[in-house]
């Protein structure tokens, strides 16, 4: 085996991933950084919280974006942009086109296939990876699919890849991923379903600000803020 070059942490999350929920737009995303930088980045985020009067144990979430915290979230996004150690990737999925019976798979199996596709494009050989997925359920099937996903990644890349569940409150970087993913989801839903007159003006403004940096609705090949619009095969 080749000498290991680096050790990277990858934090994965998803929104609207259930098969039968009202929202048909699903986003899965990951945020990666060198393991040696995790503590420094986490402390930077905590310092931003302190600067803006946010409790250090309060979770950063897109659902918590509000007028009173607008400056915090804008500064948080600028921090992400300026930090060379952070890289984001998101897959935008329209679930209305899914046809699981044609592929003899459950929705849960398909979901972990998408997690595989999400991280597959950011992995490199001769690198150790710690892949963390946001813990949503403790079912036997979910644990089995997570283990299978890890096994496939190990076979393709390296036995040094580890995949495990964590909860978002355990990681500042996972929370940052939730915020970025939320902006991608919000902007795409606004275009898909139209502007809701009751929608948050602040969320519109922040999502629009991020969209000016990178088009959130189109596939790109950027390594800093990567968007992939997924179109599944029906047969």
pLDDT digits (tens, 9 = 90+) for 180-230: 999 999 999 876 555 555 568 889 889 999 999 999 999 999 999 999 998
pLDDT (0 to 100) of residue 105? 78
pLDDT at 138: 59
Query: What percent of the chain stands above pLDDT 70?
Result: 83
Q: Which domain holds residue 131?
A: 6-230
Find out whether 217 and 191 touch, Cβ atoms under 8 Å.
yes
For residue 195, the model assigns a pLDDT of 52
Tokens 């950011």 appear where? Answer: 122
Closest to 69 measured CA to CA, from 170, 206, 190: 206
Q: How many domains is the chain built from?
A: 1
Cross-strand pairs, 132 = 11, 164
Q: For residue 1, is it within any domain?
A: no
pLDDT of residue 84: 97
**Is 28 contained in some domain?**
yes
- The three-class DSSP label of residue 73 is helix
Confidence of residue 235 (pLDDT cuts 50, 70, 90): very low
**Could you give the 3-state DSSP secondary structure of residue 5?**
coil
Q: Is residue 103 part of a domain?
A: yes
pLDDT score, position 212:
93
Contact call for residues 178 and 168 (beta carbons, < 8 A):
yes
Give pLDDT, residue 140: 61
pTM: 0.88
Here the CATH number for the domain that contains residue 104 is 3.30.420.10
Q: What is the pLDDT of residues 65-79, one digit of tens each?
A: 999 999 999 999 999
Q: Is residue 235 part of a domain?
A: no
**Residue-wise DSSP of 98-158:** --GGGGT--HHHHHHHHHHHHHHTT--TTEEEEEEEE-----HHHHHHHHHHHHHHHHHT-
pLDDT of residue 13: 86
DSSP bridge partners of 130? 9, 162
């Amino acid at each position: 085996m080749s000498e290991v070059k680096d050790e990277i942490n990858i934090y994965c999350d998803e929104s609207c991933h259930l098969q039968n929920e009202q929202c048909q737009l699903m986003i899965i995303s990951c945020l990666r950084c060198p393991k040696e930088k995790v503590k420094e980045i986490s402390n930077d985020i905590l310092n931003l919280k302190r600067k803006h009067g946010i409790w250090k144990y309060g979770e950063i979430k897109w659902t918590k974006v509000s007028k009173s915290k607008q400056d915090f979230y804008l500064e948080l996004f600028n921090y992400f942009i300026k930090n060379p150690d952070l890289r984001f990737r998101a897959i935008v999925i329209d679930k209305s086109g899914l046809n699981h019976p044609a592929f003899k798979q459950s929705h849960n199996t398909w979901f972990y296939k998408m997690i595989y596709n999400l991280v597959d494009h950011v992995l490199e050989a001769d690198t150790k990876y710690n892949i963390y997925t946001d813990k949503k359920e403790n079912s036997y099937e979910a644990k089995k699919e997570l283990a299978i996903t890890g096994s496939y990644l190990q076979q393709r890349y390296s036995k040094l890849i580890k995949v495990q569940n964590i909860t978002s409150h355990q990681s500042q970087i996972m929370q940052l991923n939730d915020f970025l993913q939320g902006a991608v989801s919000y902007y795409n839903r606004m275009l898909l379903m139209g502007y809701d007159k009751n929608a948050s003006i602040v969320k519109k403004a922040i999502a629009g600000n991020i969209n000016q940096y990178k088009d959130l609705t189109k596939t790109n090949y950027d390594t800093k803020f990567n968007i992939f619009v997924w179109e599944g095969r029906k047969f």
